[in-house]
Structure 1
């Protein structure tokens, strides 16, 4: 493990700024009673700042472990920090104006701001992709840790890319745009209008599909896959099977595969306009299949290797002497 002092400085500063913004946003939710699209107006900057805080710290730590392409990694980390900052400046600015930041096509200025946000996210994603490439190029002595970071980062990239699905216009928006009256293009929700009944704490749609769910779960694979490995390491002194590095490596692959499959199932569920808390038979069956396959794979990963039988071998000197 590297000292935190060697972590990428711009990303650490960005994370600190996001922590401060999260506090400001939390206060805003208490003192500002404005509501936008069914949620407290400061709820979005609060969620985004917490998410970016975790994302920036994770990348700052991972960059400190890379051994190849360090200069490129430093530049990529700085780009992530700048792009994330630009994103949050627009989100907070729109909150101050009392306007929605995402999907806003109400005025040319609002549309321009959302276009800028789209560009910053693409830039952030590409910079993150470069960092993931450096993780794959950098050999680490601890193979389970190396693969936990790599696979978690790949899942996170896939989860981030799912955000593009939200920018597609809904059928209602396409019809309205044909009449020149579409003020909103894109939606988090599928099959229901935004701002309706929502799940507590998260704000996700409670009566229809919500693409923020697989987006959120996938994005935070960056933290959860390495965290899974940390749990294995913590349990190793109590469970002999987990003391084997090869067993931990196999379990990291199993967990990553199950995690990716869960993201796929959640995406499929959301695209069909189905609420998270009310899955149909097909979704439940798919989830059960993923869990069953994961359990079987975990059992195989922990199963001790079969002992190799030892056979008697005639010493070479005896063969040569004829004795």
Structure 2
């Protein structure tokens, strides 16, 4: 990973309006990401290499685990992990050179944590059982405990990243900087909801895991589901910096205030969804 002397936010905003296709722009962003943080970039590409095998397993495996194909969870986590590590690498690249040694350590820790977690999830899918909250046997409990250790490590590393972005101002306009700082903080809120799920040993409140759910995501339609608030909190890491960057371009005078306002609304929505789930109320009730 190389020390960065430019702003990734500036690169994104300087993309010509009439330049090449979206595909070429994405290639450019990925190329920049690999130059500024090869560790997190590589972790994402490892997931990409894993994806074809998991998709093939989905096509040929007819087993059901909690009423769904066991390979659905690895697929969802692969995409979620790619978004996470590439976003984090992009955002941390905007820290000044003085912080890049710490960024390197954070990147290695996050990369190892995410790779271990997806490895455990794939192993359990291949065995035809659940990965999360599974303590039915010694082996299942060991894998779940291993995942828990690395999830905790990942959370501690994000706390370190929060410290860094508040101590060292990232490059970019003020609203983008606030988006990065607040996005990392709300990511920790989402992580706390994940901790609540671990304590509950389930993600559904008021019914067993594995009942009817919303298409694609599987969120329960008959009981509360903590995964919704967890999802929203974690993806603040992408949503808030993006909103801050967009406001800096299209409403610069109101950009900082708009970023803070969006953050409060986003946090309120996350807390409300958590409260609804804890009361056993689904986001969308099945009829």
TM-score, normalized by length of structure 1? 0.75
Q: Give the match for residue 164 of structure 1.
A: 195
Is residue 38 of structure 1 aligned with residue 64 of structure 2? no
Looking at structure 1, the residues matched to 262 and 53 of structure 2 have their Cα atoms a distance apart, in angstroms, of 36
Is residue 78 of structure 1 aligned with residue 108 of structure 2? yes
The answer on whether the counterparts of 2:221 and 2:283 sit within 8 Å (CA) in structure 1 is: yes
The answer on whether the counterparts of 1:147 and 1:252 sit within 8 Å (CA) in structure 2 is: yes
Looking at structure 1, the residues matched to 108 and 229 of structure 2 have their Cα atoms a distance apart, in angstroms, of 27
Structure 1: which 5+ runs fail to align? 170-185, 237-241, 280-323
For the pair shown, the structure with the greater C-alpha radius of gyration is 1
Is residue 7 of structure 1 aligned with residue 22 of structure 2? no
Deviations 1:190-244 (A, max 9, x none): 001111111111011110000111001110000011222343345x2xxxxx142
Deviations 1:286-315 (A, max 9, x none): xxxxxxxxxxxxxxxxxxxxxxxxxxxxxx
Q: Give the match for residue 149 of structure 1.
A: 180
Is residue 193 of structure 1 aligned with residue 208 of structure 2? yes
> Is the alpha carbon distance of 1:243 and 1:103 closer, same or farther for their aligned partners in structure 2, counting shifts above 3 Å?
closer
Specify the SS of the correspondent of 2:211.
coil
1:288-303 matches, within 5 Å, as: none
Q: Give the match for residue 104 of structure 1.
A: 134
1:83-232 matches, within 5 Å, as: 83-139=113-169, 140-169=171-200, 186-232=201-247
TM-score, normalized by length of structure 2? 0.84
Q: Out of 257, 260, 285, which is 1:253 matched to? A: 260
Aligned residues: 255
Residue 22 of structure 1 deviates from its aligned partner by 3.4
Structure 2: which 5+ runs fail to align? 1-6, 9-31
> Is the alpha carbon distance of 1:5 and 1:36 closer, same or farther for their aligned partners in structure 2, counting shifts above 3 Å?
closer
Looking at structure 1, the residues matched to 218 and 67 of structure 2 have their Cα atoms a distance apart, in angstroms, of 9
The answer on whether the counterparts of 1:6 and 1:64 sit within 8 Å (CA) in structure 2 is: no
Residue 255 of structure 1 deviates from its aligned partner by 0.4
The answer on whether the counterparts of 1:189 and 1:208 sit within 8 Å (CA) in structure 2 is: yes
Q: Out of 266, 290, 303, which is 2:273 matched to? A: 266
Specify the SS of the correspondent of 2:93.
helix
Looking at structure 2, the residues matched to 131 and 6 of structure 1 have their Cα atoms a distance apart, in angstroms, of 20
Q: Cα RMSD over matched residues?
A: 1.7
Deviations 1:247-285 (A, max 9, x none): 101100000111011000000000000010149xxxxxx
The answer to which of 262-271 and 60-69 deviates more is 60-69
The answer on whether the counterparts of 1:39 and 1:203 sit within 8 Å (CA) in structure 2 is: no
Runs of 4 or more off by more than 3 Å in structure 1? none
Deviations 1:113-152 (A, max 9, x none): 1111110100011111111211111123521111011111
Looking at structure 2, the residues matched to 141 and 196 of structure 1 have their Cα atoms a distance apart, in angstroms, of 45
Specify the SS of the correspondent of 1:260.
helix
The answer on whether the counterparts of 1:7 and 1:63 sit within 8 Å (CA) in structure 2 is: no
The answer on whether the counterparts of 1:162 and 1:215 sit within 8 Å (CA) in structure 2 is: yes
The answer on whether the counterparts of 2:175 and 2:259 sit within 8 Å (CA) in structure 1 is: yes
